[in-house]
């Protein structure tokens, strides 16, 4: 916070600042204000308060108004009131500056009728320029751009004073995935140290899940990502030839920079290094719609590009006119032009607002085609199937998958959560499965409940001031919780999640790099039921020794059926597909080592990612932006995108900001938003 002024009544009186009427006799200066240098209307600030030798006793009112005013009644608005002298005197006030606050007034403190403190005249300007504001909590609205801190404070009717104890609150962080981990780091960064992470597994990282096959270590480079695997960096635009960064995922790179800086001296081995990711490459297998080469193998993208007859023709629409009409209408509504892509990639929050205004949350593509355009069911099915997710997802997914430059993390994404290790040591409990929260209104605390033994009738508990729940709703919906609002309860119990399954297979060598048409990284996809995408390692190209293929990555309904297969049947299905893609060599070189992950049946996740149906996101987001019973929910499911790590990190920034505002720590909330938003958001 720049330039705070400390001032006192006597100085003010000496300065003679428009004091027309003699001020009431002050036996002693007793309250001093430190007000930020410049104040904007419709914004929130901390005003720091200090005290003279004699503390005022009893009720103190702090008001803003004409500097010449002499009694509490003559004010423009009240800023705060508190009881002084009982050891509860605040060290800051939370000043929500109203729209019509005049320039050049003073803050006054009155103890009964007696004026016991007055600030220097305060410089007040109009509301912050929304356009160039980097403080996102000052620009948003809760269902549009972002969490709106100002409106939040206005609506939650909390005390406007802050004591020195605010930073000593005990915070439970439930869940050691990326949102929980970042929350711990953010709290520490503003001097809140009494937090504890409660994690149900024996590791941190949540859905970041690098698997090192055949018992190898990261240095052996025999791994695949069973969770997120890469980050889109930038897009080269064909219309202008310029390359622009995708701003959102930059937050992951910022986090890595921060962790690397923290670890560089004592833990250089924990450095997080990014390496290029290869998203597509010519010789990866392609979806040939059932056609096979004369050898019986699946053709590659390059082969099909050279000879389109290697791919069976697509199924034709039963009514070509209707199909054309439908796809043009969808294209028109989505309006994904290069300019649109640039705007979304520059500021995903602003794009979210535009998507709401454009109605992209009102419709799934299917409903739009059927109920808005009135197309026949055959055409609707032909164009879009029967999905029920809002069209908003098209916007950000199109941006991410238009990326021409991608990154991944050397030795696996696990390196990112691992880099937190020194900073959470002694402040995390592993293997504790939380199963509910209890709110105690007597002392405004929260019990975090778990059972030592599954059959114990009475749960164990620990007491905290706040709980930050960084656990997917797919798990939380089984918990016993306080009586949250209907909206929040419904979000917890009904928010949709996707299923996805991945299988990684271990081979004696990286034979795919030695084939006649070698594959150097990249993902392809095939028509074999249940396989979906196949990705080849982007790291250590041309190295000798064993290698690992992400041999199947399927999601949605198909993945539910895969998850129901026995492990052996599932792995065998995928290995047979590898033979169909690569020939006998894949059979000869399979070592028998594999990893299989189906997220919906993962005990600790019960879902791959949140996938709100039409109506859910628009309805539920405002509920996440309110603290109920001292509980704050974070995690990718509470974000405006469901874009893996970025969404988790963004939610942690929002949740931490929300907590800090709940505690009246406006300076710290601004610090967090400035540090973690300004760098990657440009407006
Ligand atoms: C705000 O607090 C006041 C005083 O405690 C109370 O009378 C009022 O009902 C509260 N308003 C809301 C919206 O909670
Ligand atoms: C983009 O680059 C290509 C190849 O260098 C060139 O042919 C084209 O004219 C350029 N387009 C623009 C808009 O500059
Ligand atoms: C094909 O669709 C168009 C547009 O909906 C409609 O006008 C036309 O009658 C349809 N043709 C047939 C043969 O159903
Ligand atoms: C892109 O953003 C610019 C600047 O805010 C705006 O003028 C323009 O209308 C936007 N275009 C689209 C297609 O959203
Ligand atoms: C897999 O691990 C075992 C035990 O370390 C080792 O003997 C074997 O050679 C490994 N297989 C491959 C293909 O590296
Ligand atoms: C891998 O080896 C091939 C063939 O020797 C070569 O063309 C290619 O450039 C190499 N790639 C890398 C990344 O080393």
Task: Give the model's pLDDT for residue 519.
Answer: 98
Per-residue exposure over 84-110, b if at least 16 CB sit within 10 Å of its own CB, e if not: beeeebbebbbbbbeeebeeebbbbbb
Res 17 pLDDT > 60: no
Ligand lying closest to the C-alpha of residue 538? 6
C-alpha 437/C-alpha 447 separation (Å) is: 5
Place of tokens 């190898």: 216
Which of 96-100, 148-152, 484-488, 653-657 ranks highest by mean pLDDT?
Answer: 484-488
> Where residue 668 falls among pLDDT bands split at 50, 70, 90?
very high
Predicted confidence (pLDDT) per residue in 75-118, tens digit: 999 999 998 876 778 999 999 888 899 999 999 999 988 899 99
Helix (H, G, I), strand (E, B) or coil at 275: strand
- Up-side HSE of residue 439: CA atoms within 13 Å toward CB? 14
pLDDT band at 74 (very low <50, low <70, confident <90, very high): confident
pLDDT at 134: 38
Residue 181: CB atoms within 10 Å: 31
- Residue spans of alpha helices (H) in 583-643: 584-589, 616-624
What's the gap in Å between 511 CA and the centre of ligand 5? 17
Q: Ligand 3 pocket test: which of 316, 318, 322 has the largest number of ligand atoms within 8 Å of its C-beta? A: 322
Q: How far is the CA of 548 from the centre of ligand 5 (A)?
A: 13
Element spanning 329, H or E: helix 320-334
Atom of ligand 2 nearest to the CA of 241: 1
Residue pair 163/90 in contact (Cβ under 8 Å)? The answer is yes
Q: For residue 452, which of 426, 474, 434, 475 has the smallest C-alpha distance?
A: 434
CA of 318 to the centre of ligand 3 (A): 10
Pocket test for ligand 5, best of 591, 592, 594, 595 (most atoms within 8 A of CB): 591
Residue 399 burial by Cβ neighbours in a 10 Å radius (0-12, 13-18, 19+): buried
- With H, G, I as helix, E, B as strand and everything else as coil, classify residue 50: strand
- pLDDT tier at 147, thresholds 50, 70, 90: low
Share the mean pLDDT of the chain. 90
pLDDT score recorded for residue 8: 37
Which tens digit of pLDDT belongs to each residue from 571-626?
999 999 999 999 999 999 999 999 999 999 999 999 999 999 999 998 999 899 88
Residue 126 has pLDDT above 60, yes or no: yes
Measured from the Cα of 541, ligand 6's closest atom is 13
Rounded Cα distance between 51 and 281, Å, is 68
Whether 597 contacts 605, CB under 8 Å: no
The fraction of the chain above a pLDDT of 70, given in percent, is 91
Residue 14, pLDDT > 50, answer no
CB atoms under 10 Å from CB of 410, counted, come to 16
The pair of three-digit structure tokens given for residue 53, joined into one six-digit string = 């030798």
Which pLDDT score, from 0 to 100, does residue 683 have? Answer: 38
Confirm or reject: Cβ of 456 under 6 Å from ligand 4: no
Asked if pLDDT for residue 409 goes beyond 90, the answer is: yes
Dihedral angle of Cα 284, 285, 289, 293, to the nearest 10 degrees: 120
What does the pLDDT read at residue 25?
45
pLDDT in tens, 534-578: 999 999 999 999 999 999 999 999 999 999 999 999 999 999 999
């Amino acid at each position: 916070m720049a330039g705070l002024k400390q001032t006192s009544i006597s100085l003010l009186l000496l300065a003679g600042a428009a004091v027309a009427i003699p001020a009431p006799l002050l036996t002693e200066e007793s309250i001093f204000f430190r007000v930020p240098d410049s104040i904007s209307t419709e914004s929130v600030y901390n005003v720091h308060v200090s005290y003279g030798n004699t503390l005022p006793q009893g009720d103190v009112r702090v008001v803003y108004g004409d500097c010449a005013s002499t009694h509490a009644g003559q004010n423009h608005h009240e800023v705060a009131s508190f009881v002084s002298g009982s050891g509860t005197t605040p060290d800051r006030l939370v000043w929500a500056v109203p729209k019509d606050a005049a320039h050049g007034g003073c803050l006054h403190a009155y103890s009964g009728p007696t004026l016991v403190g007055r600030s220097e005249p305060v410089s007040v300007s109009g509301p912050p320029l929304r356009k160039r504001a980097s403080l996102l909590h000052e620009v948003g609205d809760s269902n549009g751009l972002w969490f709106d801190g100002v409106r939040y404070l206005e609506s939650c009717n909390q005390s406007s004073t802050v004591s020195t104890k605010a930073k000593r609150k005990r915070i439970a962080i439930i869940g050691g995935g990326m949102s929980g981990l970042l929350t711990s780091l953010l709290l520490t960064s503003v001097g809140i140290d009494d937090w504890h992470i409660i994690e149900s597994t024996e590791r941190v990282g949540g859905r970041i899940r690098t698997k090192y096959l055949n018992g190898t270590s990261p240095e052996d480079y025999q791994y695949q990502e069973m969770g997120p695997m890469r980050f889109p960096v930038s897009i080269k635009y064909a219309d202008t030839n310029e390359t622009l960064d995708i701003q959102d995922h930059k937050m992951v790179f910022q986090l890595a920079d921060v962790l690397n800086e923290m670890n560089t001296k004592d833990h250089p081995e924990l450095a997080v290094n990014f390496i290029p990711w290869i998203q597509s490459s010519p010789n990866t297998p392609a979806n040939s719609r059932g056609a096979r080469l004369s050898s019986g193998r699946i053709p590659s993208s390059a082969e099909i590009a050279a000879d389109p007859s290697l791919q069976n023709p697509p199924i034709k629409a039963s009514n070509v006119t209707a199909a054309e009409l439908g796809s043009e209408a969808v294209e028109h509504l989505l309006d994904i032009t290069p300019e649109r892509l640039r705007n979304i990639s520059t500021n995903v929050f602003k794009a979210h607002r535009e998507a709401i205004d454009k109605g992209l949350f009102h419709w799934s593509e299917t409903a739009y085609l059927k109920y808005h355009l009135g197309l026949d069911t055959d055409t609707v099915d032909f164009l879009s199937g029967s999905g029920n997710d809002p069209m908003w997802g098209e916007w950000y997914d199109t941006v991410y998958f238009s990326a021409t430059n991608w990154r991944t993390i050397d030795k696996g994404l696990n390196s990112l959560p691992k880099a937190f290790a020194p900073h959470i040591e002694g402040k995390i409990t592993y293997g504790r499965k939380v199963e509910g929260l209890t709110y105690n209104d007597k002392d405004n605390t929260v019990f975090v409940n778990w059972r030592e033994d599954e059959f114990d009738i009475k749960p164990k508990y620990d007491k905290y001031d706040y709980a930050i729940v960084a656990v997917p709703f797919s798990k939380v919906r089984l918990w016993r919780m306080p009586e949250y609002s209907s909206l929040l309860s419904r979000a917890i119990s009904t928010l949709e999640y996707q299923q996805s399954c991945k299988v990684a297979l271990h081979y004696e060598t990286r034979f795919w790099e030695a084939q006649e048409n070698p594959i150097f990284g990249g993902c392809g996809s095939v028509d074999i039921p249940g396989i979906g995408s196949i990705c080849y390692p982007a790291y250590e190209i041309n190295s000798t020794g064993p290698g690992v293929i992400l041999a199947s990555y399927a999601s949605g309904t198909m993945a539910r059926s895969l998850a129901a297969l026995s492990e052996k049947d599932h792995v065998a299905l995928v290995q047979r597909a590898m033979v169909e893609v690569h020939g006998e060599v894949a059979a000869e070189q399979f070592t028998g080592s594999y990893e299989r992950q189906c997220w919906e049946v993962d005990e600790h996740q019960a879902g791959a990612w949140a996938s709100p149906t039409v109506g859910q996101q628009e309805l539920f987001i405002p509920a996440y932006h309110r603290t109920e019973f001292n509980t704050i929910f974070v995690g990718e499911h509470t974000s405006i995108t469901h874009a893996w790590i970025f969404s988790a990190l963004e939610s942690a920034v929002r949740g931490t900001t929300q907590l800090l505002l709940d505690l009246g720590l406006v300076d710290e909330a601004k610090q967090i938003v400035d540090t973690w938003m300004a760098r990657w958001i440009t407006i």
